[in-house]
Chains A and B, each alone.
Chain A
C-alpha cells in the first residue's frame, strides 16, 4: 500500500478545487483512504492521517471516525504522535464525547513523563478541555506539579488548576497549600499564571478572599511586585513599547481590585501604587492605555479616597478625547458604570460625551446615548435635549426607539415648562414618530390631558402636524385623540402660546375622515379617529356629518371599527340623552407607576373637579358601566383614569380655611407640596400605598369610637375610624351620611378640608343620593395623613338638593376622639 499523501500535498490539492462539489469529492476520496488506513492499524502514518483529518475538520467536514485514532496517538511514545494526538483530542474530543474519558489514563501517565514537553502537552490538554470527572481524577497530579521547581511546568500547572477549579469548585481547597510561595517566583510566566490562579480562587470563595487578605498578606506582596515592574529599568524580555510586562501588570491590578473591594485596609494599602501607575504610565500606545484602563476600574471599585477617584474620572475624560476609537469606547463603557456613584465628576465631561453622539461607530454612539441620558438633570435639560433631539434625527433606526423612550423619560422628569415639554414631545413624534414605543401613546395622552392650560396649543400643533404627514402612527393616534378631546378649542382659535390658526369644523372632520380611509392608517389608528369624530359630536355643531360617518362604519369589515360605529350609532339614537355626559371632557388622569391594576381605584361617576372643566358630571350611576366601556375604548390598556381628587394644589392660606379643593395632595410623599401645578406622575401616591398592600379596613376598627360630625336639617354624618396598618400616621375615616327627612337628598356632595400640617385624600362616595327616612346611607372614605400627630380638625362643606331646592352648609368638626390622631 503506497504511503498516504502528505498533509501539505493534500492541502494544496484541495485548494485547487474550483467548486464546492469538487472539493467535496476530493475530501470524500481522501477520507475513504484514511479510513482504510485506520482499519489497517498503520502506526507509521497514523499521525499524518489524523493531521489531514484535522484539516478537513476545519473546513467543516465530519471527522468523528478519527476520535479513537487520536487516543492511539496520545498513547504512542513518539513525540510527533503525541503532539498531533493531543491536538486532535482538543479539536475533536470535547467532554460531550463518551470516548474522552479514555484519555484520562494517558494524560495521567504523561503528566509524569520524563520529558517536560510531554508533560506540558498533557497539562495543556487537561487545562483546555478536561471534563469534571477527568479533573477530579487528575487534580492530585496537577497539584503536585504546582509545587515543582520547574517554572515551565509550574506555570502550566497553575492555569490547569484554574480550569480544575472552574470545573470542580470543591477542589479549590486542595490547591491552597501550593499557593504559599507562588508569588516569590522570579519567572514572569509563573507570576502571571499564579496571579490568575489567585484571582480565580478569590472570586469564587469569600473565605479564600479573606484568607488571602489577612493571613497571606497578599496585597503588600502584589504592591511590591507591581512597584518593581514600574520602577525597574528596561527589560528586553518583557518589554512592550517601553512598558515592562503589561500583561502581568494588568492581572495584578485586577487581583488588587478584588482584594480591595469593600475592605478599607486593603484599599488604603494600594492607594499609593494606584496613584503611581495612574500618573506614570505612558499613554501614547494602546499598551499603556490598557494598564490605565485596568487601574481606573480598580480605583472605582475599591474604597479609594476621593482624590484618587477624581483622578480616575479625569483619565477617562482624557480617553474620551483620544483619537483611538477603541479607547473612546472603553472610556464610555467605564463612565457608564460610574455615572451613578460619581455623578458630579462625570458631569464635567458632559460636552465631550455629547460630542461622541456624532461618532461614526455604532457601539460608541450607543454608549454615548446611554451615558447622555444618565447625565441629564434639571440644570442641563434644555441643552442636552437639543443635542439628543438632533441625535434622534440623524441616528440609525435601531437607536430611534430607545432614544425616543429615553427622551420622553427625561422630559417627564426634568421639563422646565409645560410648553417645552409638549414641544419636545411634538418634535419626537414628528421626527421619529414610527419608532416610538406603543406604550408611549397612552403616556403622552395622559401627559397632554394633565397639562390643562396647554390644551389649545397642543391640539393646534398636533393638527398642523397631521396636515403635514399622516404616516407616523403614534403621532396620528395622539393627534386624533387630542382633536377629539379639544376640537372645540381648535375651531374657536383660542390658542395663547402661538398664533391661532383658522380652521373650520368641516376641515377638522375632513382630516379625521381622511385618516379613516387612508391606507397608511393601521386599524388602531382608525379606531382612534372614529372615536375622535364621535367625541366631536358634542363639541361641534355639524352633527349630521358625524352621524353619517358613524353609520357608514357600522358596516365596516374591520370588526373593531364596526363595533364602535354601531355603539356610537346607538348613542345617537337610543341613548342620545346620555351622549353629552359620556363624551365629556376627560378628567385628569392619575398615572400608575407600574401599570398594575392594584393601584387603580375604579370609580363610577361623580367628583367635583371644578378646576378641570366647567361641565358638571351628571349624577347618574346607570351609565357608569357604559362610561367604563367608553373609557376602555378611549384610553388604551395602560392608563385608567381615576376620577378622583387629584387636583392641582393651591397654596393653603393660613389657618386651614376651607379650600375649594379636596385637600392638599402632595403625591410625592414628602411633607411639603411640590410647587409645580402638574400632578407628579412618576411615583405612586403614597397615600394609596396603604390601599395596595392592605385591605382598606383592618381589625383594629373597634379601638377608636365613632363620632357624629354633623347633624342638621335631617342630615346626619357619622365618622368611623380605622388606622392604616402600614403607616400609623394615616387615619382612615369613613363617613356615613343618613337622611331622616321624608324627601331624599340628591346630588349630595361631601367636601372636607384640613389644616396645612395634614394631608387629606377623599375617595369617591358610594353614591350621591341619600335616601329618605334613614333607609340607607352614603359612605365615603377619607384618608388623613397626620405626620406631626396634631389634633385633627376638619372643616366640611355639604351640598345637596332637597325637595327641589339646593342646600349648602359649612361646618367645623372638632370633636375627633384623641385616638384618631395620636
Chain B
C-alpha cells in the first residue's frame, strides 16, 4: 500500500497515512485530486478505480470514506478486507465508532492503524492481538503520567 486517506463526505481529511516519501505539496495535491475523484463517484459504481498509475480501493462507512492506494500486483479484494478489518478495530476500541470519535481522537486512530499495518502491509492478522497491544500501550501511557492530575485523565 502506498497511502491511506480517510475523509468525510464534504472532503475534509480525517486521517492520512503515507508509506511513500513525498513532499507536503505533493501530498496536498494528491489528496485534493483523489478526494475530488472519489467523491464524484456514484454509489452504484465499483470500489476500484485506476488513478495515475495506481489502483485505488475505497469504501464508504457512514459518513467516512476509507481510501487506499495499492500497487499493480496487490489484490484489490483483500484490500477491501483490510479496510474492513481496520473499521472493525476502530469499532471495537471506541465502541460503535462514528466520525466524531475519529475527529476527536485522531491520535488514537493512528495508533490503532500503526498496530495493524506497518510499512503498508498487515503486521497482525488477529483482531484480538491488535486490540490487546493497544490496550497495553494505553495502560503504559497512563502509568507514566507525572502530573498532579488524575492519573486516568490523559495528558493530552
Contacts and interface: CB of A to CB of B under 8 A. Distances in A.
Interface of A: 6-8, 11-12, 15, 44, 47-48, 51, 54-55, 58-60, 78-80, 83-84, 87, 91, 94-96, 115, 117, 120, 123-124, 127-129, 131, 152, 155-156, 159-160, 162-163, 188-189, 192-193, 196, 237-238, 240, 245-248, 250, 254, 286-287, 289-290, 293-294, 297, 325-330, 360-364
A44 to B, nearest CB: 7
B111 interface: yes
B121 A11 contact: no
A330 B77 contact: yes
Contact of A192 (B47, B111, B123): B123
Contacts of B80: 286, 290, 326
Contacts of A327: 77
6 contacts: A94-B22, A120-B115, A155-B124, A237-B126, A248-B125, A363-B46
Interface stretch (B60-68, B90-98, B137-145): B137-145
B121 A364 contact: no
A160 B123 CA distance: 10
Contact of B107 (A51, A60, A152, A245): A51
Nearest to B16: A58
Contacts of B81: 240, 246-247, 286-287, 290
B125 A163 contact: no
A294 B125 CA distance: 18
A79 B75 contact: no
Nearest to B137: A117
A194 B115 CA distance: 17
Contact of A124 (B28, B50, B118): B118
Contact of A117 (B44, B75, B85, B133): B133
Given A83-B137, A254-B75, A287-B81, A127 B119 contact: yes
B77 A80 contact: no
B125 A329 contact: no
Contacts of B119: 127-128, 159-160, 162-163
List of 5 A-B pairs having minimum Cβ-Cβ separation, nearest first: A290-B77, A189-B124, A325-B46, A159-B118, A127-B119
A329 B48 contact: yes
Interface of B: 13-16, 18-19, 21-23, 28, 42, 44-50, 73, 75-78, 80-82, 85, 103-104, 106-107, 110-111, 114-115, 118-119, 121-129, 133, 136-137, 140-141, 144-147, 154-156
A188 B122 CA distance: 11
B45 A8 contact: no
Contacts of A192: 122-125
A54 B16 CA distance: 11
A247 B82 contact: yes
A407 B140 CA distance: 66
A250 B28 contact: no
Given A156-B123, A162-B119, A192-B122, A79 B47 contact: no
A163 B74 CA distance: 16
Given A51-B107, A58-B106, A192-B123, A362 B118 contact: no
A363 B16 contact: no
B114 A124 contact: yes
A59 B28 CA distance: 11
A142 to B, nearest CB: 12
Contacts of A12: 104
B126 A361 contact: no
A80 B138 CA distance: 9
A320 to B, nearest CB: 13
B69 to A, nearest CB: 15
A426 B107 CA distance: 62
Nearest to A151: B129
B103 A293 contact: no
Contacts of A361: 44-46
Contacts of A247: 78, 81-82, 122, 125
Contacts of A162: 119, 121
Nearest to A64: B24
B81 to A, nearest CB: 6
Contact of A11 (B23, B103, B118): B103
A152 B114 CA distance: 13
Contact of A83 (B50, B75, B141): B141
Contact of B140 (A79, A293, A325, A364): A79
A155 B81 CA distance: 20
A87 B109 CA distance: 11
A58 B7 CA distance: 11
B48 to A, nearest CB: 6
B66 to A, nearest CB: 14
A199 to B, nearest CB: 10
Contacts of B82: 247
A330 B76 CA distance: 8
Contacts of A51: 107, 156
A237 B73 CA distance: 28
Nearest to A152: B133
Given A160-B118, A193-B123, A237-B128, A329 B16 contact: no
A60 B133 contact: no
Contacts of B73: 254
A333 B156 CA distance: 48
Given A128-B19, A293-B75, 20 more contacts: A7-B107, A54-B107, A123-B118, A124-B114, A131-B21, A160-B118, A162-B121, A188-B126, A189-B124, A189-B125, A250-B78, A254-B73, A286-B81, A290-B77, A325-B45, A326-B46, A326-B76, A326-B80, A327-B77, A329-B76
